[in-house]
């Protein structure tokens, strides 16, 4: 494997399975605590004979604590539950302590990809990630967050958002240069 990519909360697994099929040279880890999502992904893995993907069927924060420093090249957090009520914000994944863990496990130059259709979650994410010195927002123009990256795979939650005409936002951040550098 030339790299390892991590998807947090893979839902039905369509994005994760498609990325694994497209990049057989990359190792993939998917984290999802809900059994229905894990079952859907495992059915795709079996059907398509995907061999470069592993599943962690629990909270991704547990896995982050066990990963070695600078071991992950890309992290995907796509259309996760925005926990819109203020009293639930503590459940949002991209918080100060989780960003510290991500910074530790991601290599220098690695990508953190976040997508949502919840504008409150966009603001929250920009505020928290931009405040962290280990990550830089890579956007240079509005199209950088209005359009998905070129290698994008639509998720079912994204399709649901589009079907109800909700705006989808795509935020890319880069891990600062500390740690093993990007081999590409």
Q: What is the CATH number of the domain that holds 82?
A: 3.40.50.150
In a domain, 181, yes or no: no
- Residue 81 catalytic? yes
For residue range 170-183, what is the model confidence (pLDDT) as tens digits?
Answer: 999 999 975 444 44
pLDDT attached to residue 179: 47
The half-sphere exposure of 37 on its side-chain side, counting CA atoms within 13 A, is 24
Domain residue limits at 52: 3-175
Task: Show the tokens assigned to 103.
Answer: 């910074």
Go through 62-77 and write b for each residue having 16 or more CB atoms within 10 A of its CB, e for each that does not. ebbeebeebbbbbbbb
Number of structural domains, the chain? 1
Catalytic-role residue among 81, 144, 172, 182? 81
Place of tokens 């203020």: 86
Per-residue pLDDT reduced to its tens digit, 71-112 = 999 999 999 887 777 777 788 888 899 999 999 999 999 999
pTM of the model: 0.92
Report if residue 183 sits inside a domain. no
Question: Strand, helix or coil at 25?
Answer: coil
Domain membership of residue 29 (yes or no) is yes
Residue 180 lies in a domain: no
Of 55, 68, 60, 48, nearest to 95 by C-alpha is 60
């Amino acid at each position: 494997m030339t790299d390892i990519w991590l998807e947090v909360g893979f839902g039905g697994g369509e994005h994760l399975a498609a990325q694994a099929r497209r990049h057989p040279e990359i190792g993939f880890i998917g984290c999802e605590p809900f059994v229905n999502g894990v079952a859907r992904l495992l059915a795709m893995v079996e059907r398509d004979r995907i061999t470069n993907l592993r599943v962690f069927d629990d909270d991704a924060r547990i896995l982050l604590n066990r990963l070695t420093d600078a071991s992950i090249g890309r992290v995907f957090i796509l259309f996760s539950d925005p926990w819109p009520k203020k009293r639930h914000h503590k459940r949002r994944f991209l918080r100060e302590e989780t960003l510290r863990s991500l910074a530790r496990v991601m290599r220098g130059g690695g990508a953190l990809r976040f997508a949502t259709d919840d504008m409150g979650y966009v603001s929250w994410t920009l505020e928290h990630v931009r405040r962290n010195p280990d990550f830089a927002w890579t956007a240079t123009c509005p199209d950088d967050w209005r359009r998905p990256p070129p290698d994008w795979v639509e998720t079912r939650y994204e399709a649901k958002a589009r079907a109800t005409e909700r705006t989808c936002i795509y935020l890319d951040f880069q891990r600062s240069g500390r740690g093993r550098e990007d081999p590409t």
